[in-house]
Amino acid sequence: MLIPVNRRRWGVPMLIAAAGMIVAIFVPGTPAIAVAALLLVASVLASPLVFPQPIGAAKAQELSARDGRPIVYWRPGSLACLRLRLMLLFRTRRLLWVDIWRDPQGLAALQGLADGQDTVPTVVARSGTRVNPDPSWVRSQLAP
């Protein structure tokens, strides 16, 4: 059984990986190999593999109402989302991640919060909603 691949989710990481492979194949020398390796690492970091398993917006809202965990609306390939993810390191599992490309309800919820915009990451916490928040603010929203 084949698993359908969402090309939209993998588009940016695949382009980065392809650039790395082109550099490795067509540019001679050690610096080119180092650049290719960096591009391949960047493609993994930009991929859906790095982020915690996303859940639907309805489930995220239900869990957040129950235990107070912040909801992060994000999408794969977003450098701002990647930055937030990397800055939070091991705390990401304490957040509820809604992939707006995977969940149409998540996209609608995000657009409802941001006057029709779909700017990510957007974090919804008990103390408010922030678009592209500072990671220190997000950490402060997590329960001890």
Same domain, 27 and 71: no
The 10 Å Cβ neighbour count of residue 53 is 8
If asked whether residues 119 and 64 sit together in one domain, one would say: yes
Give yes or no: residues 24 and 88 share one domain: no
Q: Are residues 65 and 14 in the same domain?
A: no
Percent of the chain with pLDDT over 90: 42
Which token pair is 25? Answer: 């194949």
CATH of residue 133's domain is 3.40.30.10
Is 29 in the same domain as 61?
Answer: no
Domain membership flag for residue 109: yes
Please give the Cα distance from 51 to 96 (Å, whole number): 11
Instruction: Name the residue among 96, 101, 10 with its Cα closest to residue 55.
Output: 96
> What's residue 123's pLDDT?
96
| pLDDT classification of 1: cutoffs 50, 70, 90 | very low
- Angle CA 45–4–83, to nearest 5: 20
Look up the domain containing 31 and give its range.
7-45
Q: Is 73 helix (H, G, I), strand (E, B) or coil?
A: strand
Residues 74 and 130 in one domain: yes
Query: 25 with 96, same domain?
Result: no
Q: Which of 70, 117, 78 lies closest to 94, judged by CA? A: 70
- When pLDDT is cut at 50, 70 and 90, the band that residue 14 belongs to is confident
Model's pTM, two decimal places? 0.70
Domain assignment present for residue 52? The answer is no
User: 88 in a domain, yes or no?
Assistant: yes
Kindly state whether residues 25 and 79 are assigned to the same domain: no
Please write the tens of the pLDDT for every residue from 31-44: 888 888 988 888 88
Residues 97 and 124 placed together within one structural domain of the fold: yes
Domains identified in the chain, total number: 2
